[in-house]
């Protein structure tokens, strides 16, 4: 365990086009950071789309009807929500804010629209870090989407067009942009971004200040003992 890091309610927002590899990178980084005492809680989004093969309700997504989703929107239950690829997606306000208030660090995998919504929140913006995952090229993105075998040709074309828009709109918005052209390298980049943010939080700076005072006190006591 490292004494450099403490859970303090930091919010990490990871966005990028479908097929950029966000989910894989997040899973790898969450595992890699645990030995450093950084525990990132993954917030499971709500969606109106149907589960795909291999997806687990409550773990992959919370699957709800369109009517239920609109009820949640009207009740103000979402931290952010967006219409993406013909379906609705949203992040639970209660889950995320509850964890942050308890001092737990949270990581989100959300659309660019959602990231922009959260950036407008004056309470969340100071404690948030926005990271965008780029595919190395549209050809690679196209290949990844086809290899997954989850989308029709029309859906693939829609996702590719949306990827171009997201990249164009997001390039000046995000704190960090990571090109996922090599999985190990991209994992290290995302890990480094999380570590950099954690070293700058108020909790980290307060811990450093206390450490400095303790070292000065040890030095004063040591000099007194040597004189005596």
21-45 tens-digit pLDDT: 999 999 999 999 999 999 999 999 9
Is residue 212 in some structural domain?
yes
Q: Is the pLDDT of residue 79 over 60?
A: yes
Greatest C-alpha distance within the chain: 83
Q: Is residue 162 part of a domain?
A: yes
Question: How do residues 152-174 score in pLDDT, each as one tens digit?
Answer: 888 888 888 888 888 777 778 89
With a pLDDT cut of 90, the percent of the chain lying above it is 56
Q: Which two tokens stand for residue 34?
A: 């645990």
Residue 86 lies in a domain: yes
Residue 5 lies in a domain: no
149 pLDDT band, cuts 50/70/90, is: confident
**What per-residue confidence (pLDDT) applies to 127?**
92
> So what's the pLDDT on residue 223?
59
In a domain, 4, yes or no: no
pLDDT tens figures, 86-132: 899 999 999 999 999 999 999 999 988 899 999 999 999 889 999 99
Structural domain of residue 28, as residue ranges?
11-227
Q: What is the dihedral of CA 52, 32, 79, 92, to 10 degrees?
A: 50
The DSSP element (H or E) to which 80 belongs, if any, is strand 78-84
Q: Which residue(s) pair with 40 in the sheet?
A: 105
Give how many domains the chain has, as a whole number.
Answer: 1
Residue range 4-16, pLDDT digits in tens: 788 899 999 999 8
Non-local (6+) Cβ contacts of 79 within 8 A are 90, 91, 92, 93, 96, 97, 117, 118, 121, 124
User: Is residue 15 assigned to a domain?
Assistant: yes
| pLDDT given for residue 207 in this prediction | 63
> Which CATH number goes with the domain that contains 60?
3.40.50.300
What mean pLDDT comes out for the span 41-63?
92
Residue 185 has pLDDT above 80, yes or no: yes
Q: Decide: helix, strand or coil at residue 18.
A: coil
Distance CA 141, CA 156 (A): 10
pLDDT at 222: 67
Residue 228 pLDDT exceeds 60: no
DSSP 163-193: HHHHHHHHTTT-SEEEE-SSHHHHHHHHHHH
Residues 79, 73: Cα–Cα separation, whole Å: 9
Has residue 1 been placed in a domain?
A: no
Tell me, what's the pLDDT at 115?
92
pLDDT at 226 over 60: no
Q: Is residue 6, in this structure, part of any structural domain at all? A: no
Query: Does the pLDDT value for residue 80 go beyond 80?
Result: yes
């Amino acid at each position: 365990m490292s004494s450099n890091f403490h859970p303090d309610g930091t919010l990490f927002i990871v966005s990028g086009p479908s097929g950029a590899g966000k989910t894989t990178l997040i899973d790898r980084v969450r595992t890699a950071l645990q030995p450093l005492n950084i525990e990132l809680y993954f917030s499971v989004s709500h969606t109106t789309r149907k589960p795909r093969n291999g997806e687990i309700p409550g773990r992959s997504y919370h699957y709800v009807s369109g009517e239920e989703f609109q009820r949640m929107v009207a009740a103000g239950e979402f931290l952010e929500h967006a219409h993406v690829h013909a379906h609705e997606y949203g992040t639970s306000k209660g889950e995320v804010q509850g964890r942050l208030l308890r001092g737990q660090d949270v990581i989100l995998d959300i659309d660019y629209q959602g990231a922009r919504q959260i950036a407008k929140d004056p309470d969340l913006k100071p404690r948030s870090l926005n990271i965008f995952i780029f595919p190395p090229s549209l050809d690679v993105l196209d290949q990844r989407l086809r290899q997954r075998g989850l989308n029709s040709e029309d859906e693939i074309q829609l996702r590719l067009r949306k990827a171009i828009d997201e990249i164009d709109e997001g390039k000046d918005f995000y704190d960090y942009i990571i090109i996922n052209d090599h999985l190990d390298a991209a994992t290290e980049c995302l890990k480094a971004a999380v570590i950099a943010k954690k070293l700058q939080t108020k909790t980290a700076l307060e811990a450093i200040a206390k450490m400095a005072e303790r070292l000065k006190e040890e030095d004063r006591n040591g000099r007194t003992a040597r004189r005596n």
